[in-house]
Amino acid sequence: MSGMDGSASGATTSGEEGEAMAERRGDGWKLGRREFLIAAAAAATLPPQPAAAASPWAERPGGKVDRVNFVVWTYGDIYTKISKKFVDDWGVTVDSTISSFNDHPTKLMTMYAGGETIDVSQSSPFSFPSFISQGLVEPLDGLPGAADYLADFTQSAKQVAVYDGKLMGLPYFSTVWVWSYYTDLLDKAKFEPFTSYDELLEQLRKAKKDQIVDYPIQWIAGVGLEQLPGTWYQLTWNRGGRFFDKQGNHQLGPGSIARDTLKWWIATFTEGLADPESLKVQFTSGAKAFTAGKNLYRGPNHHYGLNIMNDPSQSPIAGKVKVWGSPGDGKTIGDTHVYFLCTANRDRDWAWKLLQYLGGKTKDGAYTQADTLARDAMLGSGYASVMKSAAVAEGWKPWGEPQKILQIWDKATYVGEVCNSVYQPWHFPWTDRVNIEVQKALTGQITADRCCDTLITAIKEVQKG
């Protein structure tokens, strides 16, 4: 994973190994000289650490609580085991509030506004700046072991979890956007996986014309932060464009790559090549829909969709879905989701302990949850040492080709580089407009030019609040 920054080594990997891995995996999310200077400056601004215990994760917090709680979105049953481990290790009950991904911000917000106690919660990178600006997130600087975690962060994890020079969260998981294809249909059409967008369009047209399938491609373009906008970000970035530069200036004007990409994308809908359900599916439902075997290709989205598409208990086409990198230089995007310590906690030290169980190390010093997420759910980690471990190299094998995905991973850039507005509290309302206007463009209600012009106007509107 390019997030392997080759910086200070983690608990389980030596610095030498880290450097070797980073070198072997290219320079996508690798820590460059500039990034190193930024990271060093950020680290320098952190408060001095108290004399830390050798293994702070094994120390019992001083305060006394009878329970702790977390508020998260659902993902399988990943929270059952880790909650039990916390109870077994510390004898403190863990309460959980689990809602759907889309409902999580609302659930968290209502609990917070209602004055309820929340020790730990989680956030997508897109909501995190908003949560921080609303005062939900407590900085972790100075907490026992926090600096060690930061040293093991991948670049992607740093870009999300370090905000204004402060450590604000621990990584939940990392993901990278990959293409997928269904081998049976590709064989039937006698195609090789595409190597350019022109070739892709030709293949889609031919597959439809030859009646291989009605709709050769499924896009993940339902309303949300990581569906429709994510697909547009990925396609644009791969073609050499971006949405905002470092100074925050939009890159959506006439002749921009984002605008041209949208025009190309619209063509797949107007020519009837894209499955109409594309505009409704979320990342998980899209993976499930793909298992019906009615599309040749699935547009770029989280790599871990493979754990549905290639799971024999969920997919009739299990084992026949392969990942594919993006055309050209293969650039793609990735992101990291985080757990954070909520300001509405009951006891900061115990909340920090619980946070570590979800996003850091357990009492035995292992990244138990990150390891489990990799092995059970094919999720990537925000910790360099976990990404280099067998949890990924072996744990991902039941669903895909880990090495191939890691090669794609090396070419991934954090989505914040592509769309700098993710660091702004107005990114979320602006994304609302992106969802609306781009869907209108994809369904032929407006042109790509009008869509982009409207989105440019909307930037100022949402900035005003």
Q: Does 293 bind other proteins (CB under 8 A)?
A: no
Nearer to other proteins, 50 or 465 (CB): 465
If binding is defined by CB under 8 A, does position 425 make contact with other proteins?
Answer: yes
Q: How many CB atoms lie within 10 A of CB 255?
A: 6
Judged by CB under 8 A, does residue 273 bind other proteins? no
Residue with smaller CB distance to other proteins, 338 or 344:
344
Asked if residue 119 binds other proteins (CB under 8 A), the reply is no
φ, ψ at 397 (rounded to 5°): -55, -35
First vs last Cα of the chain: how many Å apart?
Answer: 37
Residue number with CB closer to other proteins (112 or 357): 112
Per CB under 8 A, does 312 bind other proteins? no
Q: Which of residues 137-196 bind other proteins (CB under 8 A)?
A: none
Question: Which of the stretches 32-40, 59-67, 107-115, 244-252 binds other proteins when contact is defined by CB under 8 A?
Answer: 107-115
Residue closer to other proteins, measured from CB, 49 or 424: 424
| Contact status: 266 vs other proteins (CB under 8 A) | no
Question: 3-state class of 77 per DSSP?
Answer: strand
348 is a site residue for other proteins (CB under 8 A): no
What is the dihedral angle through the alpha carbons of 333, 163, 460, 419, rounded to the nearest 10 degrees?
A: -10
For 134-274, strand residue ranges (E) read 162-163, 166-167, 170-182, 217-218
- Residue 398 in the binding site for other proteins (CB under 8 A): no
Binding of residue 280 to other proteins (CB under 8 A):
yes
**Closer CB to other proteins, residue 72 or residue 136?**
136
Report d(CA 157, CA 169) in Å as an integer: 9
Q: Do 57 and 365 form a contact (C-beta atoms < 8 A)?
A: yes
Would you count residue 277 as binding other proteins (CB under 8 A)?
A: yes
Q: How many residues does the chain have?
A: 465
Cβ atoms < 10 Å from Cβ of 405? 23
Q: What are the Cα distances from residue 85, in Å, to 111, 319, 357, 369? A: 26, 33, 9, 10
Counting contacts by CB under 8 A, is residue 365 touching other proteins? no
- Based on the number of CB atoms within 10 Å of its own CB, is 1 exposed (0-12), middle (13-18) or buried (19 or more)? buried
Query: In the structure encoding, which two tokens stand for residue 9, read together?
Result: 């080594």
Binder to other proteins among 2, 13, 83, 130 (CB under 8 A)?
A: 130
- Measured CA to CA, the distance from residue 180 to residue 392 in angstroms comes to 19
**Which residues in the 43-102 window bind other proteins by CB under 8 A?**
none
Residue ranges binding other proteins (CB under 8 A):
105-106, 109-110, 112-113, 115, 127, 130-131, 133-136, 214, 223, 275-277, 279-280, 289, 292, 294, 344, 425-426, 428-429, 432, 435-437, 439-440, 442-443, 445, 461, 465
